[in-house]
Chain A
Amino acid sequence: MDGDSLYDTLIVRRAREPRHAGELADATVKAAGNNPLCGDRIALGVRVDGDRIAAARHVTKGCAICAASADLMAGSIEGRTLSEALDMAGRFHHMLGNGSPVELDDLPESMAAFLPLKTHRSRLRCATLPWTALEEALGHD
Chain B
Amino acid sequence: MIGDTTLETKNVADLSHLRAQFPILSETVHGKPLVFLDSAASAQKPDAVIDAMSTMMRTQYANIHRGLHWMSERATEAYEVARSRVATLLGANAREEIVFTRNSTEAINLVAYSFGSLLKPGQAVLISEMEHHSNIVPWQLLRDRVGVELRVAPVTDDGDLDIEAYGDQLSDGKVALVAITHMSNVLGTVTPARRLADMAHAAGAKILFDGSQAVVHRRVDVRALDADFYVFTGHKLYGPSGIGALWARRELLEEMPPFMGGGDMISTVTFEHSTWAPPPAKFEAGTPAIVEAVGLGAAIDWVEGVGFDAISAHEAALTAHALRVLPEVPGLKIVGRPADRGGVVSFTMEDVHPHDIATLLDRNGIAVRAGHHCAEPLMRRLGLNATARASFGVYTTEAEITVLAETLARIRSFFV
Seen from chain A, the residues whose Cβ lies within 8 Å of a Cβ on chain B are 1-4, 6-7, 12, 16, 37-41, 61-65, 120, 123, 126
Contacts and interface: CB of A to CB of B under 8 A. Distances in A.
A63 B363 contact: no
B364 to A, nearest CB: 5
Interface of B: 30, 32, 351-356, 359-360, 362-364, 370-372, 379, 385-386, 410-411, 414-415
Given A16-B415, A39-B372, A2 B363 contact: yes
Contact of A39 (B356, B363, B371, B410): B371
A1 B372 contact: no
Contact of A123 (B351, B359, B364, B379): B359
Contacts of A7: 356, 360, 414
B35 to A, nearest CB: 13
Contacts of A4: 414
Contacts of A63: 353-356
B146 to A, nearest CB: 27
Contact of A38 (B352, B355, B363, B364): B355
B59 to A, nearest CB: 39
A40 B364 CA distance: 24
Nearest to A39: B385
7 contacts: A1-B360, A2-B32, A2-B360, A3-B359, A7-B356, A7-B414, A64-B353
Contacts of A123: 355, 359
B335 to A, nearest CB: 14
Contacts of B354: 63
A127 B339 CA distance: 40
A64 B362 CA distance: 16
A32 B43 CA distance: 37
A1 B411 contact: yes
B29 to A, nearest CB: 11
The CB with the most chain B CB atoms within 10 A, among A2, A41, A62, A120, is that of A2
A4 B356 CA distance: 11
Given A12-B414, A120-B359, A2 B30 contact: yes
Contacts of B353: 62-64
A48 B385 CA distance: 32
B78 to A, nearest CB: 37
A38 B414 contact: no
Nearest to A126: B355
Contacts of A40: 355
Given A41-B385, A64-B353, 20 more contacts: A1-B360, A1-B411, A1-B414, A2-B32, A2-B364, A3-B360, A6-B359, A12-B414, A12-B415, A16-B351, A38-B370, A38-B371, A38-B386, A39-B372, A61-B385, A62-B385, A64-B352, A120-B359, A123-B355, A126-B355
A39 B383 CA distance: 13
Contacts of B362: 3
A38 B373 CA distance: 9
B378 to A, nearest CB: 13
Given A2-B30, A7-B360, A126-B355, A64 B414 contact: no
Contacts of A62: 353, 355, 385
A39 B378 CA distance: 13
A3 B386 CA distance: 21
Nearest to A117: B359
The CB with the most chain B CB atoms within 10 A, among A62, A63, A64, A123, is that of A63
A1 B379 CA distance: 30
Nearest to B363: A3
Contacts of B360: 1-3, 7
B356 A64 contact: yes
B410 A1 contact: yes
Contacts of A3: 359-360, 362-364
Contacts of A12: 414-415
B379 to A, nearest CB: 8
A102 to B, nearest CB: 23
A65 B385 contact: no
Nearest to B371: A38
Nearest to B353: A63
Nearest to A123: B359
Contacts of B30: 2
Contacts of B415: 12, 16, 64
The CB with the most chain A CB atoms within 10 A, among B30, B359, B362, is that of B359
